[in-house]
Structure 1
Amino acid sequence: MRKFEIIEKYSHLNPIIPHRQTEASAGYDLASIEDITLLPKEIQLIPTGLKVTMPKTEALFVFPRSSLAIKKGLMLSNSVGVIDADYYNNPDNEGHIMIPLINIKDEPVTIKKGERVAQGVFLAFSKTDDEITKETKRTSGFGSTGH
């Protein structure tokens, strides 16, 4: 099952459940739950108020919307985000999907509440036949599984 859910503590901000804009769209648009101004060259995590559940054989890949850089001068600071299935309900932040944006302009740029800032695409992945799986349980996100 794949499903976006509102994180309870953000429900009063009325997060937008992502949906595809057309029948052939691959991406689910992810929107900000608050107004945020990014100063020149600044990186900020844009909150969505959402978490996502999916099969353990999939990940949600987060890509920039094509209009983001062209119209606003904003880019994903990590190029592509990867949200693993075990990020859901982690004890640190409940699996809150946050979008790391950088302002590449020389002037402040404002994201408005409800503005679509990225798109998530569900993709299946494969494992190697000789993989040795670690039994480590995820406790948070943003680099928590590596050094």
Structure 2
Amino acid sequence: MELSKLLEDTMKTRGFEIVSTYMNDGITLPERQTKNAAGYDFFAREDFVLKSIWRYDFIRLFRLIKNEHPLTQEDFTRANKTLKPLLVPTGVKAYMQDNEVLILANRSSNPLKRGLVVPNGIGVIDADYYDNPSNEGEIFIQMVNWGPKDVVIQKGERIGQGIFMPYLLADGDHASGERQAGFGSTGRA
């Protein structure tokens, strides 16, 4: 490895890279739009259709609940298959210091103008998500479309934003586990 590349890698503190699989796909790295913006806008890696929740079994379930019919295990199974967030891919990964986190948030215009929400409120990208063995640390934005019609997100369209932040540890913290995989791998269910 060249000395200049080695020095550059050791001096990096936080930022974004394109996932190696998508290096030649015209991926846009997250960027701030104004000098006082806290968030880095993330862009969609590909065209993506976010179907309206009203197109699934939601109406059927809503009708059963409204009419006070008991729901069966089959109803719950069908609902769990269809009434869940979709993961919009970015093709980007983030590196940061061990005491930092990247918080993912919705764009403020998405719910009002397009009916798109981030169902968990925020996403949390830990430092050890970077280059994990499952997906190289690709960041996905979880979204639900509660609007009445499907929404097509175009490749390169802004879909969410990320804010790097430091975090604190509690007294007596003894976390010692190591990340084994990618998305959702640090806990159960």
TM-score band w.r.t. shorter chain = over 0.9
8 Å contact 2:15–2:95 — kept in the other structure?
A: yes
- Equivalence map 1:63-74=2 (5 Å): 63-74=105-116
Q: Counterpart in 1 of 2:178?
A: 137
Residue 33 of structure 1, CA deviation: 1.1
Question: Number of matched residues?
Answer: 146
Deviations 1:7-57 (A, max 9, x none): 110122211111111111000000101111111116311111010100000
Pick aligned residue for 1:51 from 82, 85, 93: 93
- Name the CA distance, whole Å, in 2 between partners of 1:55 and 1:14: 27
Q: Which has the larger radius of gyration?
A: 2
- Name the CA distance, whole Å, in 2 between partners of 1:15 and 1:40: 26
* Gaps in structure 1 of 5+ consecutive residues: none
- Name the CA distance, whole Å, in 2 between partners of 1:140 and 1:79: 23
- Name the CA distance, whole Å, in 2 between partners of 1:55 and 1:102: 31
Residue 129 of structure 1, CA deviation: 2.0
Residue 119 of structure 1, CA deviation: 0.4
TM-score (norm 1): 0.95
Q: Counterpart in 2 of 1:28?
A: 40
- Name the CA distance, whole Å, in 2 between partners of 1:36 and 1:102: 12
1:9 paired to 2:21: yes
Whose helix fraction is larger, Structure 1's or Structure 2's? 2
1:92 paired to 2:134: yes
Whose strand fraction is larger, Structure 1's or Structure 2's? 1
- Equivalence map 1:73-84=2 (5 Å): 73-84=115-126
8 Å contact 2:133–2:182 — kept in the other structure?
A: no
4+ aligned runs moved over 6 Å, structure 1? none
TM-score (norm 2): 0.74
- Name the CA distance, whole Å, in 1 between partners of 2:41 and 2:30: 5
Q: Aligned Cα RMSD in Å?
A: 1.1
- Name the CA distance, whole Å, in 2 between partners of 1:106 and 1:21: 30
- Identity of counterpart residues, as a percentage? 44
* Gaps in structure 2 of 5+ consecutive residues: 1-12, 54-82
